[in-house]
Chain A
């Protein structure tokens, strides 16, 4: 099993450009999450999907949109990138219910916006 995969691994964008970060999991998990990690800020939840067909905002959703394409895939879109969105982005997945606290993370996408 590959676990959680993310593409791309690295990306450089200019301010105002758009892009989609892709995430897929092969563990048949119901729940999926997008986090960003910044120095000194820890992990912050952007959006999550508790189950296929549902999405909800996390702590820092502004400037992002998500799509739960099917049970396996959960994408994150930046419509108009800003330098403040320079960060490392992690996708995670988990079972539902009380098992949701045990999350499985992908390797991350390192995004720089100039």
Chain B
């Protein structure tokens, strides 16, 4: 079945450091790929998406590129802020069920 694997957290960075959170997937066909973010005490919200190979999704300074050859969708940001501290979920959508498959989430902690 479909699955998403994310790097274990927490990821701890200083403000203005570079961020990469790894995400790889297994799916039949050609899935759509998503990153969701969950700030403390809140629900998840869609951060960015890509629907086909080589697409780059971007939002709020975050980027992720759909790499079909490596089945990956790594999340990157050049300079993180304390306000980016949150849990980040990679997800995919494939097949006819229309239920997304979520990774387990990666916690990011950014220190001043």
Q: Which residues of A contact B (CB under 8 A)?
A: 4, 31, 33, 40-43, 45, 48, 50, 58, 90, 92, 94, 96-98, 100-108
Given the complex, which residues of A lie within 8 Å of B42, measured CB to CB? Answer: 107-108
Q: How far is the CB of B2 from chain A (nearest CB, A)?
A: 11
**A4 vs B44: C-alpha distance when bound (angstroms):** 11
Q: Collect the chain B residues with CB atoms within 8 Å of residue A101's CB.
A: 32, 34, 91-93, 98, 100
Which chain B residues numbered 18 to 71 have a C-beta less than 8 Å away from chain A? 32, 34, 41-46, 49
19 A-B residue pairs with Cβ-Cβ distance under 8 Å, sorted by A, are: A40-B104, A43-B89, A43-B105, A45-B99, A48-B99, A50-B98, A92-B43, A92-B44, A96-B98, A100-B99, A101-B93, A101-B98, A102-B34, A102-B46, A102-B49, A104-B45, A105-B44, A107-B41, A108-B43
Q: Which 5 A-B pairs have the closest CB atoms?
A: A101-B93, A105-B43, A100-B98, A42-B104, A105-B44
Q: Contacts A102-B46, A103-B46, A107-B43: A41 and B104 contacting too (C-beta < 8 A)? A: yes
- Residues of B in contact with A (beta carbons under 8 Å apart): 32, 34, 41-46, 49, 89, 91-93, 98-100, 102-105
The listed residue (A50, A98, A103) touching B32 by CB distance below 8 A is A98
Cα-based distance from A90 to B25 in the complex (angstroms): 24
Residues of B contacting A96 with CB < 8 Å?
98
Closest Cβ of chain B: how far from A30's Cβ, in Å? 10
Q: Which residue of B lies closest to A97 (CB)?
A: B98
Residues of chain A contacted by B91 (CB below 8 angstroms)? 101
* Chain B residues within 8 Å of A106, by CB: 43
Residue from B34, B45, B93 within 8 A of A98 (CB atoms): B93
Q: Which residues of B contact A33 (CB under 8 A)?
A: 99
Nearest A residue to B34 via CB reads A101
